[in-house]
Chain A
Amino acid sequence: MLLFLQSLVNGLLLGGIYASCSAGFSLAFGVMGVVNLSHGDFVMLGAFLTYWLFILAGFDPFLTLPVTLVVLFCLGFFLQRVAINRLVGAPLIMSYLLTFGLHLVLANLALRAWTADYRTVQTSYSGLNLNILGVVLPYSRLATFALAMVVILGLYFLLYRTEIGRAIRATAQDREMARLLGVKIFRIFTLTFAIAAGVTGLAGSLVSNTFVIYPQMGLPFTITAFCVVVLGGMGYIPGTLWGGMILGVLESLTTTYLTAGISLALTFFLLLMMLIIRPGGLFGKGIVE
Chain B
Amino acid sequence: MSRPLAQSNPIWFALIPIGILLITLPLFGLEGYRLRLITLVFMWVALAGCWNMMSGYSGYIDFGPVAYFGVGSYCTAILMMKGGLPFLLSVFLSGWVCAGLSFAIGLPTLRLQGAYFAIATFAAAEAIKQVVLEWDRVAGFEFFGGAHGLTLPPAPPESFFYYIMLFFMGLTIGLTALLEKSKFGYGLRAIREAEQAAELSGVPTLMIKARAYVLSSSLIGCIGGVEAHWLTYIIPDDVFNVMRTIQMVIMTLFGGMGTALGPVIGASFLTLISEYLGAKFIYDYLIFVGLVIMIVILLLPQGIMGAIRRNQGRSRLRS
Interface, chain A (partner B; CB < 8 A): 29, 33, 35, 83, 86, 90-94, 96-98, 100-105, 107-109, 112, 219, 223, 226-227, 230, 234, 258-259, 261-262, 264-265, 268-269, 271-272, 275-276, 279, 288-289
Contact = CB atoms under 8 A, between A and B. Distances in A.
Interface centre among A94, A96, A104, A289 (most CB of B within 10 A): A104
B127 A101 contact: no
A259 B116 contact: no
Given A109-B287, A268-B130, A275-B112, A259 B293 contact: no
Contacts of B287: 104-105, 108-109, 112
Given A83-B294, A101-B292, A226-B123, 13 more contacts: A92-B114, A97-B249, A98-B294, A101-B289, A104-B290, A104-B293, A107-B286, A226-B119, A259-B137, A262-B134, A265-B127, A269-B123, A279-B116
B134 A268 contact: no
Contact of B294 (A101, A234, A264, A272): A101
Interface string B111-135: 1111110111011101100110110
Contacts of A35: 115, 118-119
Given A104-B287, A108-B284, A97 B297 contact: yes
A223 B253 contact: no
Interface in B99-152: 108-109, 111-116, 118-120, 122-124, 126-127, 130-131, 133-134, 137-138
Contact of A101 (B61, B257, B293, B301): B293
Contact of B130 (A94, A104, A265): A265
| 8 cross-chain pairs, A with B, having the tightest CB-CB distances, nearest first | A104-B290, A101-B293, A265-B130, A268-B127, A105-B290, A261-B134, A101-B294, A271-B123
Contacts of B130: 261-262, 264-265, 268
Contact of A271 (B59, B118, B119, B289): B119
B162 interface: no
16 contacts: A92-B61, A92-B115, A93-B118, A93-B253, A93-B257, A96-B118, A97-B293, A101-B289, A101-B292, A112-B287, A230-B119, A261-B137, A262-B130, A268-B123, A275-B109, A289-B113
Contacts of B20: none
A259 B138 contact: yes
Nearest to A34: B115
Contacts of A83: 294, 298
Contacts of A234: 115
A101 B299 CA distance: 14
Contacts of B253: 93, 97
Contacts of B283: 112
B298 A98 contact: yes
B289 A104 contact: yes
Contacts of B292: 101
A101 B119 contact: no
A101 B250 CA distance: 10
Contacts of A279: 112, 116
B35 interface: no
Given A97-B249, A101-B294, A289 B134 contact: no
A97 B123 contact: no
A33 to B, nearest CB: 8
A86 B287 CA distance: 21
Interface centre among A219, A262, A275 (most CB of B within 10 A): A275
B293 to A, nearest CB: 3
A288 B131 CA distance: 29
A33 B298 CA distance: 17
Given A86-B298, A108-B287, A272-B127, A100 B246 contact: yes
Contacts of A86: 298
A139 B255 CA distance: 54
Contacts of B63: 96
Nearest to A219: B242
A230 B119 CA distance: 9
A135 B8 CA distance: 74
Interface centre among B109, B114, B123, B246 (most CB of A within 10 A): B123
A276 B127 CA distance: 15
B194 interface: no
B291 interface: yes
B290 A101 contact: yes
